[in-house]
Each structure stands twice: as C-alpha cells, then as structure tokens.
Structure 1
C-alpha cells in the first residue's frame, strides 16, 4: 500500500465524518438563530441558502451574500454582517467581532440558546 493511498483512506473516512458532525452542529446553532429571527429554521441545513438568510438576519438584502465571492471584500463584508447580526440580537462589538466573526460556531450557539431577542436595528 502506497503512503498516499493510506493518507487518502484515513482522511476520507475520519475527516468526512468529523466535518459532517461539525456541519450538523453548526446547522443546529443556525436553526435556532433563524427561528429567533422569524425565518424557518430548516433553511440552516441548506449550504448556500443558510448564508443568504444569515445576511438577511443581519438586516441586509440576500443579494449582498454575493459579496462573499469577491476576495478581500468577503472579509470586510463578513465583519459587517457579524456586527449587524450582533446588534440585531443586542450584543456588543466585542462579542460580534470575536464570537460572530472569528469563532462563529460558538457565537451562533450562544445567540441561539441564550435569552436575547431579535430586533431589527
């Protein structure tokens, strides 16, 4: 067995399952966030649609999600979305920067399961 074959077998099985588990956990967090914002939670399961509705939760048009396709602009836009989303849930700038932009997995779980309410700012 070649080393490349072994590496491919290890990462295809274990890595795929790990990525799938992380995606399911993140979808659960987004489901709760979307439900709080008044959108159907099931939209969190669909890969591209969840980004569109995350932009809508931030209070912008879903068409702005196309900005994620432009290099450099996508980083700036992601920060803007994080700050606007945090403001809509009553969170401050530090929370938005660190937990919605740098660590969105944790931030969306906090927003989804805490007592904050969605209000369009």
Structure 2
C-alpha cells in the first residue's frame, strides 16, 4: 500500500510540474475531473472530450491519444508518447524535470526539414 502511495505522490508532483511548464496552474493537477479538462487544454483537444473518459474502452483509446498529444505539445515524438503510455512513471518524470519545453497543443507541427529560400524582390 505504501508503494502505491509513493507512485501516486511522484505522479502528482510530475503532473504539477508539467502543468506549470505548460502555463497552467499547478494546483489544477490535484483537482479531480478539472485536471483532465486542463490536460485537454494543454494538448489542444476540445473540452467535450471529457465525456469520452467516462465511456468504457473508449477512455483507453482517448487516453492514448491525449498522451500522444502531450508528447507532441512538448515537442516530443511518437517514441516518447509510447513511453508515456507504457512506462508512465518514468516518462512523466522525464517530461516534468527534463529539458522539454511546451510548444503548444494541436497547432504544433514539426518542421518538415529545411524550407526553400525565397528571393528578395
């Protein structure tokens, strides 16, 4: 039981730090349901997606999508998203205390490489 509380405390500390990195209040990570609303805001998903978290099986799929969006919002790729999904305690700590910076929700698209130079008129 003590181990479960330790994991929960580490997760809450990591979420607090992730929320503050994204420009949201850290205390929001402690409030049930509201923390999901703020997380949806961070990843750029509509608030009505909260309803999807209450539908069995759909909630797992939506959770994966939100975790992938969280990785993307901090400029990370699909490998990091898979880490968030399958090794959450480690990757949430990496996201919270690593050098990842918030770049935005769904509006972020990684660069497709060098862009052609335009001629000056």
Q: Normalising to structure 1: TM-score of the pair?
A: 0.77
How far did 1:61 drift?
Answer: 2.2
More helix by share: 1
Give the gaps of 5 or more residues in structure 2.
Answer: 109-121
How far did 1:107 drift?
Answer: 1.6
How far did 1:54 drift?
Answer: 1.8
CA contact (8 A) 1:56 1:62 kept: yes
**What's the RMSD between the two structures over aligned residues?**
1.5
1:46 equivalent in alignment to 2:36: no
CA contact (8 A) 1:59 1:85 kept: no
Report how many aligned residue pairs link the two structures: 105
Give the gaps of 5 or more residues in structure 1.
Answer: 1-14
How far did 1:63 drift?
Answer: 2.6
How far did 1:48 drift?
Answer: 2.5
- Structure with more relative contact order (C-alpha pairs < 8 Å, separation 6 or more): 2
Q: For residues 57 and 45 of structure 1, do their structure 2 counterparts lie closer, same or farther at Cα, with a shift above 3 Å needed?
A: same
Distance 1:105 1:63 in 2: 27
Distance 1:20 1:45 in 2: 14
How far did 1:84 drift?
Answer: 1.1
Q: Normalising to structure 2: TM-score of the pair?
A: 0.77
